[in-house]
Amino acid sequence: MNILAVDTAGKTAAVAVLRDDVLLYEAQCNNGLTHSETLLPMIDTALKAAGLTVDDLDVLGVTNGPGSFTGLRIGLAVIKGLALPRQIPCAGVSTMAALAYGLAGEGTVIGAQDARRGQVYWGAFGLAAHDRLTPDTAAPVTTLENFVQTCKKPLFFVGDGATLCYNTYKNVLGVVCVPQPMQVLRGAGVALAARAMWERGECVPPAALLPDYHRLSQAERERAEREKTEGKQNEV
């Protein structure tokens, strides 16, 4: 089985090609360019390096959230564009699951993406089997305390929200710091999570591939706040 996997949920773009249990190619890019500039050339390079064409692919995997609204839309649009003409099955991979699948071992891993204003998108997984322990959610980093204190140790944080989590919980016994270069979301993690979804029968046709934002965009939140304020003023 040949799987092409991409991630554009955060600042770093990632691409990987997995054939069965062999990682044929993996690359990450964090050079300041937008995903719209980097993703297609990265995919082209990945397929050429792996000796494949799009017609050789059995599954396309892509992070579908939570994460950057613009970034997610770029990744999903590119994957849909590749998949639709050929009706290649697609795996919309949770960003937190992709982060978790990038590590292996014993204990617990929390995927954490910066949601701003002291909040993170987070989800927890057992490292041994990558079994999900909590649903993905957006919450203040301080609300993770009960889980952090009681979960199986060692506990690792990964993702662009990991530093915020480590700064909050670094003194908790059993919390282990992952080196910052290893905290980023890996294309291999997306590919492995996509393969697991395929094995569970969770892949979907390209047209059914959708984002999972987990909350309103900043523009939508600001509009809702304005409407709420205007409503109160009208009542007066």
Instruction: Give the percent of the chain with pLDDT over 90.
Output: 88
Q: What is the rounded CA–CA span in Å between residue 88 and residue 84?
A: 7
Q: Which pLDDT value is given to residue 197?
A: 98
pLDDT reading at 15 higher than 80: yes
Q: Which pLDDT value is given to residue 32?
A: 84
What pTM value is reported for the model? 0.91
Q: What is the rounded CA–CA span in Å between residue 92 and residue 202?
A: 9
Nearest to 119 by CA among 74, 80, 165: 165
Q: What is the mean pLDDT of residues 87-109?
A: 97
CATH of domain 103-182: 3.30.420.40
Where residue 18 falls among pLDDT bands split at 50, 70, 90?
A: very high
Where residue 226 falls among pLDDT bands split at 50, 70, 90?
A: low
pLDDT reading at 190 higher than 80: yes
Task: Output the six-digit token pair for 223.
Answer: 């509009």
Residue type present at position 64: N
Instruction: Outline which parts of the chain fall under CATH 3.30.420.40.
Output: 2-95+185-219, 103-182
Q: Which pLDDT value is given to residue 231?
A: 64
| CATH architecture of the domain covering 2-95+185-219 | 2-Layer Sandwich (3.30)
Beta strand segments in 33-118, E: 59-65, 90-94, 108-116
